[in-house]
Amino acid sequence: MNIPRNRLTLAVCLLAAAAGLSACQRETGPDPLELTGKVFIFNYRLAYATYMITLIKTEPVPEGSTVVATFENPAGGRPLTVDRKLFAKLDKVVLESPELTCVKKQRSYSVTIEVKGPDGAILQTLKTSVTSNLDQDVLPAQALVVGPAYDKNPDVFKNGKTPEHFETARCPF
């Protein structure tokens, strides 16, 4: 069989291109994100708590992909949701929930993380839980500082003096 050289070259190039394009598609395979950390953050100065979840990218994701985290609400009611865009050049993903109340020591709170492609299709689902080693009542009832310069909160520091006892945060129920 005698195939002209330019046709053979074209056929090889087309096969290589098809193989390369098929490698870019994510039908199945390894999950794109791996959970690396989960913790409650208690910000004593500003008197709030949040969930903090960290992940690393282990596989590339299509441009325009997002990660959606759904956090159990310690105060009850609707779960708290965070939706973040995934950037191709950033390998670390940090998710911080909105401010929380009623966090209880040694109670597990559920978290679900979904990686979604640009078309909204779910590429990966992670389920985990976060347990605090502190109750939220370790926090002050009000922020100790206010403003961008972290000035003393005048509602807490009356006449600029430190109170003998700080009121602590309480769960409303």
pLDDT, residue 29, reads 61
What domain range is 89 assigned to?
33-140
34/26 Cα distance (integer angstroms): 17
Residue 11 lies in a domain: no
The pair of three-digit structure tokens given for residue 80, joined into one six-digit string: 């708290």
- How large is the average pLDDT for residues 24-52? 85
pLDDT, residue 75, reads 94
Total residue count of the chain as it appears in this document: 173
Q: Give the model confidence (pLDDT) of 125-152 as tens digits.
A: 999 999 999 999 999 999 999 999 999 9
pTM of the model: 0.78
pLDDT top residue among 125 and 4: 125
Q: Give the model confidence (pLDDT) of 39-91 as tens digits.
A: 999 999 999 999 999 999 999 999 999 999 999 999 999 999 999 999 989 99
Whether the per-residue pLDDT at 16 is higher than 70: the answer is: no
Q: Which band of pLDDT confidence, cut at 50, 70 and 90, is reported for residue 20?
A: very low
What total of structural domains would you count in the chain?
Answer: 1
First to last CA, the chain: 85
Residue 7 lies in a domain: no
- How large is the average pLDDT for residues 6-28? 48
Residue 95 lies in a domain: yes
Residue 96 lies in a domain: yes
The SS3 of residue 5 is helix
Residue 22 lies in a domain: no
With tokens 């100065």, the residue in question is 45
Our measurement of the distance from residue 29's CA atom to the centroid of its chain's CA atoms, rounded to an integer in Å, reads: 22
Residue 129 lies in a domain: yes
- The order of strands in the sheet holding 92-96 is 33-43, 48-57, 92-96
107/98 Cα distance (integer angstroms): 19
Residue 155 lies in a domain: no
CATH code of the domain containing 48: 2.60.40.10
Residue 146 lies in a domain: no
112/68 Cα distance (integer angstroms): 8
